[in-house]
Amino acid sequence: MNPVHMRVENLTMAYGDHVIQRDLNFAINQGDVFIIMGGSGCGKSTLLRHLIGLQQPAAGEIYFQQHGFWQASEQDRLAMTRRMGVLYQSGALFSSLTLAENIALPIAEFTALQEKEIAELVSFKLALVGLAGFENYYPSEISGGMQKRAGLARAMALDPEILLFDEPSAGLDPISARLLDDLIIQLSEALRTTIVVVTHELASIFAIGANSVFLDAESKTMLATGAPSHLLHKSDNPKIIQFLTRGEQTR
């Protein structure tokens, strides 16, 4: 068993008096590909925002290698967030900048590297995601799948310990989505980076997920945690079974 990288303890998420999820307790182990899954409106993306420090819990705590995120000082929280990389649904690239300029932004901001060193590092990050030679392309000049890869290269710019993806396959055709799943697996195996993925795509859930948490919108809490394949074969909860067998039910 790998050591725990992040731990969610008694977490309640809310917007004012409106509770999204309550009493969440689960651990993300170092090197795992961890899936946040559940039906629409259950709070998957809201949970991701809590994990990266964009939204404060109504109750509970998130621990980063045993250090309480919201118990820490603002300076320490900032240091923790710099050890994370985030890929948003749209890729969130700046359209007026080339791919190289997009990736160079965080490196220039948070390191003392010289321009030549930054350029070499940018080229290396693009090569890692299969975009070698695309440094001078603008986001509008490449496909949606390539934009996601470029967004991933930027998320990896500062060599984060944890990568977090929000619906990475959204808007992609099945082939591009599968290629992105393959890339996530390759990065996990090669770099031993902890990866957290918000997704409802069954193909991705079973292809890449080593562990998971299942959120339920109706009860407003988690129903299970564990490997998706284990939950499919061992769970007796009808909501989990229905969610994980959706493809079979529509054939």
For the chain, the structural domain boundaries read 4-83+163-250, 96-160
User: Alpha helix (H) ranges present in the chain?
Assistant: 44-51, 74-81, 99-110, 115-128, 144-155, 174-191, 202-208, 228-234, 238-244, 246-250
- Which among 232, 174, 215, 166 is positioned nearest to 38, based on CA atoms? 215
CA distance 193 to 165: 13
pLDDT tens-place values along the chain, 251 residues long:
689 999 999 999 999 999 999 999 999 999 999 999 999 899 999 999 999 999 999 999 999 988 999 999 999 999 999 889 998 876 678 999 999 999 999 999 989 999 999 999 999 999 988 899 999 999 999 988 889 889 999 999 999 999 999 988 877 888 888 888 998 898 888 888 999 999 988 999 999 999 999 999 999 999 999 999 999 999 999 999 999 997 554 33
CA distance 125 to 82: 17
Please name the CATH architecture into which domain 4-83+163-250 falls. 3-Layer(aba) Sandwich (3.40)
pTM score of the predicted model: 0.90
CA distance 154 to 127: 12
